[in-house]
Chain A
Amino acid sequence: MRKVRKGISAVVYRSCKAFNHDRTRILDILRKVQTSLGCISGETMEMLAEELSSHRVEIEGLVSFYSFFSEKPKGKITIRLSDDIVDRFAGVDKVAKVFSDELGIGMGQTSSDLNFSLEYTSCIGMSDQAPAALINESVVTKLTPQSARTIVRKLKQNPVTSNLVKKKGDGNNADPLINAPVKNNIRRKGDVLLADRLPAEAGLKKALKMKADAVIQEIGHSGLRGRGGAGYSTGLKWELARKAKAKERYVICNADEGEPGTFKDRVLLTERPDLIFEGMTIAAYAIGGTKGILYLRAEYAYLLPYMESSLKKRRTAGLLGKNITGKKGFAFDIRIQLGAGAYICGEESSLISSCEGLRGEPKTRPPFPVEKGFLGFPTVVNNVETFCCAARILDKGARWFSGIGTDQSTGTKLLSISGDCTRPGIYEVPYGVAVTDVLDMAGADAPAIVQVGGASGDMIGRSSFHRKISYEDLPTGGSFMTFNASRNVLSIVDYFLEFFVHESCGYCTPCRVGNVFLRERIQKIKNGLAEEADLRYLKDLSNTIMMTSRCGLGHTSPKPVLSSIAHFPIVYASLTKERTDGRQASFDIQKALEESRRIAKRQSMIYDPVYGEAAD
């Protein structure tokens, strides 16, 4: 007899059925459930576990890991304010206050009628138009207290988020499938990625006329290195994946652009989806891959319909599927996997975990993904920009590409520039460009602090502005934030640590605990209570975290601390002071006793000198 399904049970069943009860697609299933029910309660988890032959604890592990899922009921409309340092300096707190007052709920709360939830979220990739927010999947940018008030009033009248778009953005942002007020802010076009009228599919056509080995050789000769930040040779990566013995191979595009202050992939995903897919197809041909996944961060879900339609067009045009462009035996297809709000998933092994429907925790290496990656098959994971470059290299040749940039950093780089400057946005510059030139281009306002490479990058001061953007000097995955002299170095460092404390997956102790300790110590310094010994402590602890953490997050999270100490020694020196009494200035006995005095209704025999005398 067929079971009659109602309510939650029906939603769970439908959501699982939509993905053929495939355990690896659980992120999509949870997303569907979260959207339909507003939460994934304990009861729902039980049902999901049964439906997917899993265990409740596994489902609960996923729900608690990804910030876009929640066990408690969320409002029909969830407003997520981007809490990046650039947003903070742009006044997101004032905007937050208006949202909070108008909705009558605090940050992190849901209204009692379950219509609205309000919360902060990590950088949503809109630093060039800060402060910004996600309202369900729609993006709103350049918020002011006034516009926040209007948004709430509109949503109260008509809770449809697409109505909020008054003025559409430029380029494909105005496409009905995207329909976003987001501006591309492309300020400088280079020859490789943002040039006008790129010849469509030229790279792919040339690649398919070559032997797979030759394609890899061409990429190798071009000197192309990963654009995500780590800078591993793309040619070598592809070669290793091709050589690994396996039945299947996978190509994954990392579009989980979560590094604070990075938004260049947003523009490529909006304006160059075909170039990305072309690059992925070339990679698949080169390594002998049959399936591809583009892992799109949840914050960019507004781009999903447009990208899906691009994929569809490619299938119709014979650019995906079987016998691509008529090449017998070459079959490849791509699906888009939507993330669910976790910075760590930008790390390649965590990204693979996430694609497999697991918590986005890093995997132990070796084996590296090129040997055993997605579901144990050899997998190439490359950044969005890397795939675009690969497609262009196959079209124009390795020599053309390596002619741009420096010896060890060939080609151009997309920089996402934000912060205190008049022209924030996307700049395609050749590698080897000096920081000072970049600052000039962006119209930086009296730059004093520049953060190159996001939270996990380097913080430099004026004395280093001659340095060059390149793998050998100042590497960056794309983030470039400039701050003027009115900004507090320690507030910036504190923000980055807060970010890492929040985004650490918690698997290994050095990262989970170490970052908390780093932050405590930075706050001690910020409050003027530190001594020189605290700086030594920070350096020691930073080295321990970098040396003993399991993945890139812990390997780089102390960088803001170390680079700010190295480049802004005067700031630290002015805030630390030698103390000779042997006491810790950060320990405040009066504060530590406050609550106790209140509860015991008496004063301290030791620390209240007037005890007894002041009795009235």
Chain B
Amino acid sequence: MLSLKLLWRNWRSGELRLLAAALLLAVAVVSAIAIFTQRLEGALIKQSNTFLGADRVVRSSRSLPVEWYDSAEEAGLKQAQTLLFNSMTFAGDAMYLASIKAVSDEYPLLGELEISEEAFNHRSTTLERIQSGPPRGEVWVDSRLLPLLDIELGERLFVGESEFLASKVLVREPDRGDSLSLLGARLMMHIDDVPATEVIQPGSRIRHNWLLSGEETQLVSFLDNLKKEFSPHERIMDLQASQRGLSSTLDRGKQFLGLAAMIGLLLAGLAIAIAAQQFARRHTDQVALLKSLGAGANHIRSLYAKQLFLLAVLASLGGLALGEVLQRAIASIVSSMYPLDLAFAGVWPYSLGLLTGLLCLLCFALPPLWQLPTVPPIRVLRRDIHVATVSGFWQAALGIAAVFILVAVYSQNLVLTAVVMVGFFALLALAAGIALLMLKLGRAWGSRSGSSWRLAWASLLRHRGQTVAQILVFATAIMLLLVIFVVRTSLIEEWRYKLPEDAPNHFLVNIAQHEVDTVRDLFAEENLELQGLYPMVRARLTEINNSKPDEALKKEVGVLNREANLSWTPDLPEDNRLLEGKWWPDMNLQGQTPYVSVEQEIAQRLNLKLGDKLGFSVGGLNLEAEVSSIRSLDWDSMRPNFYFLFSPGTLDSYSPTYLSSVYIPSEKKPLINELLRESPTILVVELDLVIEQIQNLTAQVSDGVELVLVLVLFAGVMVLLAAVNASMDYRLQEAGILRALGSSRQRILGSTALEFICLGALAGLLAVIGAELLLLGMQQWVLETPLQAHPLLWLAGPIIGAAIVCAMGLWASRRVVTVPPLQVLRELA
């Protein structure tokens, strides 16, 4: 009770406000980011799962046992089935091997189908979003199927023995699947219509998809149990497995938000430590008085511990409330821009927020406050009595431990933790050395300059220890802000770079040799350019070093079980990197055996080395090649990628077809119709919708990131304010004396401004050094992006540092010149 009263009185007297505000901010930053990230992640995963059409898909090449459906029903999961197979479709004399998808009534569980009444115009207002497939007796088709079968919408077509009405154009289906796989034109029908078509015969290649949705925990436990009954034919697909590009986008976003939370937390922690130090200094006399009034050390310890605990709880609750408000604000901004269904974040981020308050107090505030109860009571009579404090070594050790624990808990990434820690403490050591050196060098210069400079420099030197400490704090805050700013910028630019405006959004597959010129001319007429033209041969890898791969390896590596696309090219594709071996121009290609360059991941899984011999079966013909290089490639690039690239000309005799990609703006989409009428065998894979979806996701994540940055900025400003405030007592006292001695306001203001400018500029310079080091570490080990320096920072750091520190310093010390000097001196006496 007494603790509560004391807490209230301390609060009222303003002594706790900085500490409380720093705590509140720490909790607000962490909880807002944690809650928002959780919600965003949930929503994005949900949205991304629409790429699956469900939360999970069990994929099989055989029909699944009916009992499984029943048990999913019992487990309260939503389910739907789809069948995928290729079948001939007919209309009049025209026929086409379509890629058929038969769906049950519940399909899709997540996401929507987009259908239209008009072919090749999916941006028209006629676009309709619907959460079910076609009714029985009707089929929905890809625009390109219509010219291929020479029909219009509303006309009829045959699939096997059954006749259907082609009622709508199918513009988008959520689970179109791997966008780069070679698909025939889609025809979607009702699953109950399939038997009547009689197209499914024993031995037909059919893919059965069982779509499941429900509570994540329920799904996981259900599938964990079911997995035991899986045959080798079944496989569970989740987002990770189905969409590499998307999940890496999400991971980046999450990484950034985690980093932002961590930096916000470090900044707030710093503010807490400074505020606690100030609190301890101000309470030394109070403790001595309480002791003289008969309170023992234990009593004092308990009084302060209870006060701090109460403060932590109250500030954490406040922080949590603020965090909730902030995350709601962020969420509403994000959702107003994009239709995003943000789910409840769960209890964990809230608990994490509360835990943060206690953890921060324990780690940052306790060390400076630890010795408070040992203040000797005689200090009430003798102010000059020295008060023992926790040694600098222990404070630093506790601080390092605290930072490590917090960073590790919040980032859940030990590499990131290590990089941040090493950067952080290397900077501290380096900065302390450089700061001292610069102060020393500046002394001679300062003594030759004008009186304001001399005063400013003398003040910085007189409090050398405090000056260095302040520079370190300012530098740390500015460094962390620079890091977060640069990472954000490069992150967003990297995404944009990956998906430029005119990125190819259509793939043209199966172009015959004689059609190449026609196709090129057709696009050239519209000022569109084909991006690369790759010859392509379908082949199966049958032998490695003259022996057949064993069954175990076959099960593990998909490429051994199906036909792969082989290609050749004289130049290394733009986004490929040679990891081992040589590229063609550096080799002698005159030998008998052709050479092949293999993608790194496949090479690793098949345990391939340079010089290994690979045997392929190309439509019954054998082809042997020697591995001459290993390449990495960028799966997110939206360009054709090949596991196996041969030396030029190798595949000429295997009747290749060609693959190309092209950017077609939406208004020129009818061009596809024309192309397909002229060359009906060409497959057009429309990627524009997939790209649009990825771009939307990227935009959502980066908007969230921008708003989170505002929170971190607040934390940074808080640290700077705390540091300026902590030095205010002695500044006020000195200025009071100077004014009493007759210094003009202008001179005091001038020297104070110069002092803060020097502090800020030095700190800014050190911050840039630290930020560069930290960024290099992160580029190298965490973000895995190319190493890159940031020359602009070197200019911006000192200028921003000087400007911010000077502005805040002057604002905080405005009393120096506005309050009569006598009052200032009396208050501080």
| Same complex | no
A residues in contact (CB < 8 Å) with B: none
Q: Chain B: residues with CB nearer than 8 A to chain A? A: none
